[in-house]
């Protein structure tokens, strides 16, 4: 987890989500105006001029920088891939409804794209907005849309299905629930406010109408912006610093590893990426029974600061050959951080951008918690698959995790202004 298969994007607790930070040129949105009014105790009631609330809650403040952060919808790569981790997330997969085909799918993606553009700008959805997030700004909201393997056969587009979307192979550690795996369509939602994220989830579901029905849905979270005294890599539910060696947009080969090139195949996937989604349960009771030293041996890094056991700081290069006084490897041969290194997997790399999850505590007192693992790559057969096969053959972390759901989705490039996501596929 600390380096690869259960890793997260290394991100500061941010004040920005786009190069320009806040979208200052848009004027004051309805939500921003209402948010400011609410802070002073002056919100209009449904009937018009009456005061809807006697006073603001104690300590209420105007819209903060966290709420004001806006991510653009019309971009080269869909939002929700390279942006910093958000504190709340929802993943939802849909299957096309009875009788729905290419025409209905195109209309749905047009509705979804319009809703995403509006909500990411801090505006209400076009039809039947629920007002759940009316007091908040965009809060770094992103919506990302993808197509599953089954989508193409159901829309008469089988010839347009990418080879890279072939089903993932079986892995020995899989304990997959097929009802919570795959799907015709996939939507990823992230935001730094729980109500903003839920509002988007509800809007997407309502937009689907009879064209598509929910197949499965999962909820996740990450650390909130500003929760730490200084920017740092996130921790997962095992307490490990998680995401140290994630590829970064500044890397010279980042685009080559993560995105389909503009002249790639198929043409409709230009500037897109492939998302592998895995629900990975952490067996926390077993993990927490280990001593800190034993946990560090499993991962290959110090728990306190994420530094490799071979020495240095979090970002120090791991010395895979270093031995102790007895001649034993300092970083064990089956340590998770060793096995997942790109140089131990033919250069295979992927951008991990997941959410933690907790779905309650069973009658046996065991928490149902872990990681909603999401990784991005230009080709999963050269990214996720070789690394997971290597982990299958002897990762020290395997006894403490269980892969319970899985999906693979083709995520096309971003929509140009006036277009919708997937238009090149559905109208090509």
Global pTM reads 0.86
What is the phi/psi pair of residue 174, to 5°?
-70, 135
Of 135, 192, 207, 242, which is the active-site residue?
A: 242
Per-residue b/e over 301-314, b at no fewer than 16 CB within 10 Å? bbbeebbbbbeeeb
pLDDT at position 58, please? 54
Which tens digits make up the pLDDT trace of 79-130? 999 999 999 999 999 999 999 999 999 999 999 999 999 999 999 999 899 9
For the cut 50, the answer to whether the pLDDT of residue 41 exceeds it is no
CA dist., res. 391 & res. 398, Å (int): 8
Q: How far is CA 340 from CA 63, 239, 283, 380, in A?
A: 42, 19, 20, 15
Structure tokens at 71: 């991510």
* Closest-CA residue to 13 (of 313, 249, 229): 229
Cβ–Cβ under 8 Å, residues 273 and 421: no
Which tens digits make up the pLDDT trace of 167-216? 999 998 899 999 999 999 999 999 999 999 999 999 999 999 999 999 99
- The average pLDDT across 48-71 equals 60
Percent of the chain with pLDDT over 70: 85
CA dist., res. 175 & res. 173, Å (int): 7
pLDDT at position 16, please? 43
Question: Is position 242 annotated as part of the catalytic site?
Answer: yes
Q: Which residues fall within 8 angstroms of residue 115, CB to CB, at 6 or more apart?
A: 125, 126, 143, 200, 203, 204, 207
Average pLDDT, the chain: 88
Q: How far is CA 220 from CA 83, 194, 359, 373, in A?
A: 16, 10, 9, 10
């Amino acid at each position: 987890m600390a380096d690869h298969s259960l890793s997260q994007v290394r991100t500061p607790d941010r004040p920005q989500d786009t190069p320009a930070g806040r979208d200052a040129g848009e004027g004051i949105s309805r939500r921003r105006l209402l948010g400011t009014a609410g802070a002073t105790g002056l919100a209009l009631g449904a009937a018009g001029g009456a005061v809807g609330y006697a006073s603001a809650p104690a300590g209420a403040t105007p819209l903060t920088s966290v709420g004001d952060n806006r991510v653009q919808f019309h971009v080269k790569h869909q939002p929700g891939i390279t942006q910093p981790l958000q504190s709340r997330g929802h993943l939802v997969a849909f299957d096309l409804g009875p009788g729905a085909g290419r025409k209905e799918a195109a209309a749905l993606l047009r509705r979804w794209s319009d809703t995403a553009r509006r909500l990411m700008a801090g505006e209400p959805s076009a039809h039947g907005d629920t007002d759940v997030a009316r007091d908040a700004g965009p809060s770094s909201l992103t919506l990302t849309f993808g197509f599953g393997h089954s989508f193409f056969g159901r829309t008469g587009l089988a010839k347009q299905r990418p080879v890279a979307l072939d089903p993932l192979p079986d892995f020995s550690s899989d304990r997959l629930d097929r009802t919570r795996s795959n799907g015709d369509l996939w939507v990823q939602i992230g935001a730094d406010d729980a109500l903003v994220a839920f509002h988007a989830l509800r809007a997407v579901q309502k937009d689907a109408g009879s064209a598509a029905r929910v197949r499965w849905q999962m909820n996740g979270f990450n650390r909130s912006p500003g929760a730490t005294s200084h920017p740092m890599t996130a921790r997962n539910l095992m307490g490990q610093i998680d995401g140290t060696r994630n590829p970064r947009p500044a890397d010279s080969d980042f685009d080559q590893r993560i995105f389909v090139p503009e002249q790639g195949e198929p043409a409709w996937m230009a500037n897109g990426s492939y998302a592998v989604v895995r629900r990975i349960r952490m067996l926390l009771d077993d993990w927490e029974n280990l001593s800190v030293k034993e946990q560090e041996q499993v991962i290959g890094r110090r728990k306190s600061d994420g530094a490799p056991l071979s020495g240095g700081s979090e970002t120090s290069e791991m010395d895979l050959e270093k031995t102790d006084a007895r001649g034993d490897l300092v970083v064990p041969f089956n340590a998770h951080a060793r096995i997942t290194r790109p140089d131990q997997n033919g250069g295979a790399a992927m951008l991990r951008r997941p959410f933690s999850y907790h779905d309650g505590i069973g009658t046996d007192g065991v928490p149902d918690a872990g990681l909603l693992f999401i990784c991005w790559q230009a080709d999963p057969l050269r990214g996720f698959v070789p690394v997971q096969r290597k982990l299958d053959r002897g990762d020290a972390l395997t006894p403490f995790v269980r892969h319970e759901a899985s999906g693979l989705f083709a995520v096309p490039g971003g929509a140009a202004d006036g277009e919708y996501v997937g238009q090149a596929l559905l109208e090509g």
